[in-house]
Chain A
Amino acid sequence: MKLFRRKRFESDMDAELGFHVDAYVDDLFRSGMDPSEAARRARIEFGATEATKDECRQAWGLQWTDELRADLRLTFRTLRQNPGFAAIAILSLALGIGANSAIFGLMDAVMLRLLPVHEPGRLVFVQTAGTAGRDGPPYPYFELLRDRSKSFEAMAAFSASNMEIVIDGGREQARGIWVSGNFYETLGVAPMIGRTLAASDDQTLGIGGPDGAVAVISRAYWQQRFGGDPAVVGRAVHMFEHTVTIVGVMPSEIMSTEPGRPIDIAVPMMLSDPVKLRDRVSLWMEIVARLKPAVRAEQARAESNALFQAYMADVRIPPEVHQRLFDHMELTPASKGLGGLRTQFSQPLTAMMILAGLVLLAACVNVANLMLARATARQKEFAVRLAIGAGRGRLIRQSLTEALVLVGAGAALGILFARLGEAALAAFFAEGNNKIVLDLSLNGRMLLFTLTVTVLSGLAFGILPAVRASRFDPAAGLQSGSRGIAGSRLSLRLGRALVIMQVALSTVLLAGAGLFIRSLRELESVDLGFTREGILTMEVTPEWQVFGTPQWLTVQAEVLDRVRRIPGVRSASWATMTPLSGRDRGAVLDIPGFVPQSEKDKDVHLAAVSPEYFETVGIPLLLGRALTPRDDATASKVAILNETATRFYFGAENPIGKKVRFANYPSHDLVYEIIGVVKDAKHDSLREPPSRFIYLPIPQSVDRINRLALAVRGTGKAVAFARPVRQEVQTVRSTVLINNVSTMEKQVEQSLRRERLVTALSTAFGVLALVLACIGLYGILAYAVTRRTSEIGIRMALGATQGEIVWLILREAMALAASGVIIGVPAVLVLGLISRALLYGVGPFDLPTFSCALLILLVFAAIAGIVPARRAGRLDPMSALRCE
């Protein structure tokens, strides 16, 4: 469009001026002049046509764009002449910008993005608070608040949970969420197909509403499980004891308020466990509420709290528990959703963003250095341009144009890199049992961020050469050769400063990477307390009718029997949970003779296991006896403690034969005799110190057994057993649901997801910075050698050996590297302090790590220096002297 207008302007101007000259010629001719003489006169009197045109263009305001075009043309031409320079500059900028965009994209998805709902700013989570932190309140309180409070426009309850679903007779597991009927209405989310849930769907306990039991599914689940069939609306599936009709499809990203957590299906609260719904102290759900426009959060909090205190008046709980969990109500802003993912990744992502920023800075410094060197090489050109009348402003603009072209190309390539990187990051998050689904598609905020970063970096490295160009003295530039120019000493000094800065930045990044690598190593070599290799695990769930029945016990025994006969299998066992599986179960123990300091002291982790469990998983028995098949439902009740529990409850005493009682189970007298002690094993994460554990035989479990984990140990690769084991399980009972097939090794790896991410990124950044520093170092040394050619010639003529010359240049490389390192060290310490919380088993001032980073830097500095140094050493003294 613009170009078209421009062409029009030119042709109009030609026509107009042409008309003028022709008309004048006509007039002259009519006044009796000879035609050729008339044409000559007309041209002379009109004056210089091209100059006039130029003035017209200028008058029309086109000069600016014309000059820009000329600048761009010159830039592209010079970049084409120096493809090496262009490639290095664009590539380093692309990597720097790409790293920043990718990390920012991740930050945006995890930390910054608001829920895509109606007016997210007015949403709050209403939570109970106490010394143990905040949690969602019990369901009866939700009903009270919903019916009595006046501060909220609407409020809804929800609780994510895995659900079993029977589709066409097959049992499957789905990621579900219990919601009060008005949940999506409260958030302000519209269905994509069909209808959403309504308050009326959540009226009657165990039934639902006038349409019976209904549910909505996510778009992703609709696509993956139902192939995007629009007839899914109205389809009946079976869940729990109900026939549930699917009434609508919702946008995937707002099925729940927890970013990153994929949810397949949402079911009304009234279909969930009635016991749980009635329980006045059970914390299993969350409330999300929308404040009325005029109501302040504090006002709403006060009202919620007053209602809560009234609610708690007739609730009987120990004062300890009251203080820890039920002290008062708090409102938490809900605009960004529930923060599970956010709390886990905020810190590492912030650290990564800082590192990415440093990488970009290193890239900018690198390009600034390259441009500076080029500006020095182009001094003659600048001198000529100034001498024939170019303004200094034009030279500055030319330099900035070059910078912006480079950074623009870098940004375009960088966005491409960022997309690739983000695909890898998304895949990284999506692996494993606790899959995290991140929406990393490009959005306006990300583009704005990239644009800002791009322009800032363009200015950062473009401004230096531009300013130098403007201060340039054309007379000096024209007179002398490429050396001996007054400005070049300055530019060499500036270049050195930039290289030192690059080395300092790489010091920081390398040392940071070193710390994270050490941490990961420490974590990986931590004593797990169980065997990592050769163990296959899977979760097996029978139909709910079978939960806790002898029939389920028979199935378990039969499965073990068959699995053990698979060739290569050494042992197999059942447990309610295996280490690092993300499953957990707590219980409260009363121990005669043990005086708890607080209620918390009675808390213990509880697992029910089959006899061979400890052998299968590789947890050694330290004292007493192991479980046997004779410890069944009819035998006297027995239990095994782990070391930590033993030490905590019995100190140095021998616990064998002591009795423990499970509190909070009024119906039976649950007293167990301790028969053995096993070694501690990591359970939640590799970072945490071991927690107290009690193990019971499955037939003697305190509650009815439902889902169990099957652990199989064999020779060779554990994954190889997945198929035969699965087959055997299904042969015994075809209707069981098998989930989360994995290996111990994989689960250990996945539990280190965050650490692996941080380590991988920081290492990549460190390597990148190192490469950039080497390029910078090489560049400045090569330039120094050229500049000092005659000096080197003199030295050689005076008897310096080749080795001495090489050392002369290498010494400079080392001096530059060492200066950078010295400047970098304080920054390294700051970085260490910032990321202290991410480290494990290594302090923020880890001397071996730092020494290693320094060593790597110096070695690479030497490598970067050796090429120019050897070139200097090979100079022929005669030609070196003559080249002046």
Chain B
Amino acid sequence: MKKQVNLVQGTLDMLILKAVSLGGLHGYGVLLRLQQLTGGQLQIQQGSLYPALYRLERQGLITSEWGESENKRKAKFYTLTARGRKQLKAEAESWNRFSIVVASVLRALPERS
């Protein structure tokens, strides 16, 4: 159970970084952008977004600032830091390598025996 969460968490962190990298967003905005980017295919538990945001901020990958939302309400906006950008790049690369490797394994045909 725990391992599964970790896996999702790892991916979620990367996705959040990506979403934030496209421009400063508040938490709800991150959710909307992820839904938009995935075409609504990815189910995200809304509450689980925040611990991930806090963890990323704690790690110094994103920073936050209080500002005003589109409908004039106080909201906390997140932006990517330099370290966050580097981290996103590294994670994206390793994810790509990983998916290529996994895909190639899955493409393998049964050997003659």
Contact = CB atoms under 8 A, between A and B. Distances in A.
Please say whether chains A and B are actual partners in one complex.
Answer: yes
Interface of A: 12-13, 15-17, 19-20, 22-24, 26, 45-49, 51-52, 55-56, 58-61
Nearest to B75: A19
A17 B75 CA distance: 10
A46 B46 contact: yes
B51 A19 contact: no
B73 interface: yes
B98 interface: no
B52 to A, nearest CB: 8
A56 B58 CA distance: 10
B28 A20 contact: yes
Contacts of A17: 50
Interface in B50-65: 50-52, 54-55, 58
B47 interface: yes
Contacts of A45: 46
B112 interface: no
B50 A23 contact: no
A11 to B, nearest CB: 11
A22 B54 contact: no
Nearest to B71: A26
Contact of A19 (B54, B58, B69): B69
A15 B74 contact: yes
Contact of A59 (B47, B55, B69, B75): B55
A56 B26 contact: no
Nearest to B73: A19
A22 B73 CA distance: 10
Contact of B46 (A15, A19, A47, A55): A47
Contacts of B69: 19, 23
Nearest to B32: A27
A46 B47 CA distance: 5
Interface in B1-59: 26-28, 31, 45-48, 50-52, 54-55, 58
Contacts of A60: 54-55, 58
Nearest to B74: A15
12 contacts: A12-B76, A15-B74, A16-B26, A19-B74, A20-B46, A23-B28, A23-B71, A46-B47, A51-B47, A55-B50, A56-B50, A58-B51
Interface size class of B (residues with CB under 8 A): 20 to 34
A12 B26 CA distance: 13
Contacts of A56: 50-51, 54
B47 A48 contact: yes
B62 to A, nearest CB: 12
A227 B50 CA distance: 70
A52 B26 contact: no
Contact of B27 (A16, A26, A47, A51): A16
Contacts of A55: 48, 50-51
Interface in B71-88: 71, 73-76
A711 B97 CA distance: 106
Contacts of A22: 73
B77 to A, nearest CB: 10
What 5 A-B pairs come out closest when comparing CB atoms?
Answer: A47-B47, A55-B51, A52-B47, A59-B55, A59-B54
A407 B88 CA distance: 49
Contacts of B26: 16, 19-20
Contacts of B31: 20
**Most chain B CB within a 10 A radius of its CB, from A51, A52, A58:** A52
The prevalent SS among residues of B at the interface is helix
Contact of B58 (A12, A16, A20, A61): A61
B53 to A, nearest CB: 8
Nearest to A19: B75
Given A23-B71, A26-B71, A51-B47, 8 more contacts: A12-B76, A16-B26, A16-B75, A19-B28, A19-B76, A23-B28, A46-B46, A55-B51
B73 A16 contact: no
A51 B58 CA distance: 19
B50 A52 contact: yes
A776 to B, nearest CB: 46
B51 A52 contact: yes
A59 B58 contact: yes
B46 A16 contact: no
B73 to A, nearest CB: 6
A61 B54 CA distance: 10
Contacts of A15: 74, 76
Contacts of A23: 28, 69, 71, 73, 75
Nearest to B45: A47
A51 B47 CA distance: 9
Nearest to B58: A60
B48 to A, nearest CB: 7
Contacts of A49: 47
B48 A47 contact: yes
A24 B76 contact: no
B76 A16 contact: yes
A646 B76 CA distance: 103
A60 B53 CA distance: 10
Contacts of A16: 26-27, 50, 75-76
Contacts of B54: 56, 59-60
A46 B46 CA distance: 5
A116 B53 CA distance: 56
A46 B74 CA distance: 20
A58 B31 CA distance: 21
A289 to B, nearest CB: 58
A24 B35 CA distance: 13
A52 B48 contact: yes
Nearest to A57: B54
Nearest to A58: B51
Contact of B51 (A20, A24, A59): A59
A49 B50 CA distance: 10
A51 to B, nearest CB: 7
A58 B50 CA distance: 11
A164 B58 CA distance: 74
A22 B71 CA distance: 11
A29 to B, nearest CB: 12
Contacts of B76: 12, 15-16, 19
B67 to A, nearest CB: 11
Contacts of A51: 47
A243 B9 CA distance: 90
A17 B28 CA distance: 9
Contacts of A61: 58
A2 B54 CA distance: 19
A17 B51 CA distance: 11
A46 B45 CA distance: 7
Contacts of A48: 47
B70 to A, nearest CB: 9
A677 B45 CA distance: 110
A513 to B, nearest CB: 59
A815 B46 CA distance: 68
Contacts of B55: 59-60
A20 B48 CA distance: 12
Nearest to A16: B76
A420 to B, nearest CB: 48
Contacts of B74: 15, 19
A500 B75 CA distance: 66
A15 B28 CA distance: 12
Contacts of B28: 19-20, 23-24
A282 to B, nearest CB: 76
Contacts of B71: 23, 26
Nearest to B56: A59
A24 B30 CA distance: 12
A12 B53 CA distance: 14
A391 to B, nearest CB: 14
B64 to A, nearest CB: 9
B1 to A, nearest CB: 14
Given A55-B51, A58-B51, A20 B27 contact: yes
Contacts of A47: 45-48
Contacts of A19: 26-28, 69, 73-76
Contacts of B73: 19, 22-23
